[in-house]
């Protein structure tokens, strides 16, 4: 039997949109806000809210800059975020692992 204590699942990562953000960044390492928005098919507001939450725990960082006259926000996965994501996957595997 697995470990069914739900507290082992990091809620900051588990929320569906944040899980999608973190999964995307685990592959891409960094992504432009617009690129993320398209990949996840979420609204600006929704993405901003979840990125702020992930920034608050230090899992991602956001850097605003200009490319020519266009403002751009670059979102990067931090080492803390990468570690937290790997830990999250372990907790998830311990819970659902026997079915996979």
43: how many CB neighbours lie within 10 A of its CB?
10
Q: What single DSSP character describes residue 96?
A: H
42: how many CB neighbours lie within 10 A of its CB?
18
| Residue (26 or 74) nearer to a copy of itself, CB | 26
Minimum CB–partner distance for residue 67 and a copy of itself (Å): 23
> Are 69 and 47 contacting, i.e. CB atoms less than 8 angstroms apart?
no
> Are 2 and 98 contacting, i.e. CB atoms less than 8 angstroms apart?
yes
Task: State the residues that interact with a copy of itself by CB under 8 A.
Answer: 1-2, 4-7, 9, 11, 14, 16-17, 19-20, 23-24, 26-28, 39-42, 85-86, 89, 93, 95-96, 98-100
> Are 30 and 76 contacting, i.e. CB atoms less than 8 angstroms apart?
yes
| Residue (71 or 93) nearer to a copy of itself, CB | 93
Minimum CB–partner distance for residue 32 and a copy of itself (Å): 14
Minimum CB–partner distance for residue 56 and a copy of itself (Å): 19
């Amino acid at each position: 039997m697995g470990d069914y204590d739900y507290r082992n699942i990091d809620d900051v990562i588990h929320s569906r949109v944040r899980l999608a953000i973190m999964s995307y960044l685990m592959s891409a390492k960094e992504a432009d806000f617009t690129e993320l928005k398209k990949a996840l098919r979420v609204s600006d507001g929704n993405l901003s809210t979840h990125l702020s939450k992930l920034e608050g725990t230090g899992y991602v960082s956001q850097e605003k800059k200009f490319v020519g006259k266009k403002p751009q926000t670059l979102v990067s996965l931090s080492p803390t975020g990468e570690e937290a994501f790997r830990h999250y996957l372990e907790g998830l595997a311990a819970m659902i692992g026997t079915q996979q």
